[in-house]
Each structure stands twice: as C-alpha cells, then as structure tokens.
Amino acid sequence: MGCKLKLNRLVGSILILSCWPMAMAQSDSQLDIRSLVSELEKRIAVCPRREVVAQFDEKHHKQVWQKQGWGPPTDVFGDAKTNDDRSVLYPYVLVIEFSLKHTFGPERQTRPDAAKDSELSRRRSTSLAPNGSIS
C-alpha cells in the first residue's frame, strides 16, 4: 500500500512540476494544449534512471538494506482532451503514459554493502494505469 501511494505521489509530482513553468508563462487564451502535451512527453522521456539505497521492512519485521533502481522512462505517450465536466478550474484532461523498469539488488545487512551492488535485476513488472492505479 505504501509503495502504491509513494508512486502515485511521484508521478503526480513529476507531472505537476513538469508543466508548472509552461502554465505560468502563458495565459489561458494562449495555451496550446498540443504543445503542452508534447513538451511534457519530452520532459519525461529525458528523465534519467534513479537509484536509491534504503532500508525496508520485510516479513516478520526483518529490516534489510537494498539498492533499487527506477527508469529511465520508455514508451512515453501523451494525450489531451477537453474536460467533459466543463470545469473552469480543469478545462483539459491530460494523460501521459510511460513505462518504468524497476530493478532490485539483493537484500543486505548494511547500507554500505547495498550501495556497492552494481548488478540489479528485475523481479517483477509494474505498470501505472492512466487512473493512477498500479498493477
């Protein structure tokens, strides 16, 4: 549950931060929605791979250190349409889809040991649906 919430926040933060400068730079009458979607696609597509070393709680309250990697994004695709609700605050619905490869190192007892891992493997596939759900 915690991973799902963190990933939703991550994706939401990326999307909000990616479009904030463009939305501030243009008035409503000047907003070109296709350009906005194209710019968001480009910004997400060039995001680098991220690796973190963190402590995780495993089964039976066992704490382990592990290096995990995300990305880089692939298969980036954007779409936009007018909001069917005719919202004044949200006149458009933007959907940016992309894939992230999630890799893991072996479980370690200490942070320095986990940080040394260079061979990360893919244990499971995770995809984020347009509605924010993770499968």
| DSSP string covering the chain | -HHHHHHHHHHHHHHHHHHHHHHHHS-GGG--HHHHHHHHHHHHHTPPPEEEEEEEE-GGG-EEEEEEEE---EEEEEEEEE-TT--SS--EEEEEEEE--EEEPPPBSSHHHHHH----B------B-TTS-B-
Mean pLDDT of the chain: 77
Instruction: Indicate the pLDDT class of residue 125, thresholds 50, 70 and 90.
Output: low
Task: Give how many domains the chain has, as a whole number.
Answer: 1
Q: Which domain holds residue 105?
A: 2-116
Is residue 30 included in any domain, yes or no? Answer: yes
Inside any domain, residue 18: yes
pLDDT in tens, 46-103: 999 999 999 988 777 788 999 999 989 999 999 988 888 888 888 888 889 988 888 9
Which pTM value belongs to this model? 0.58
Q: Give percent above pLDDT 70 in the chain.
A: 67
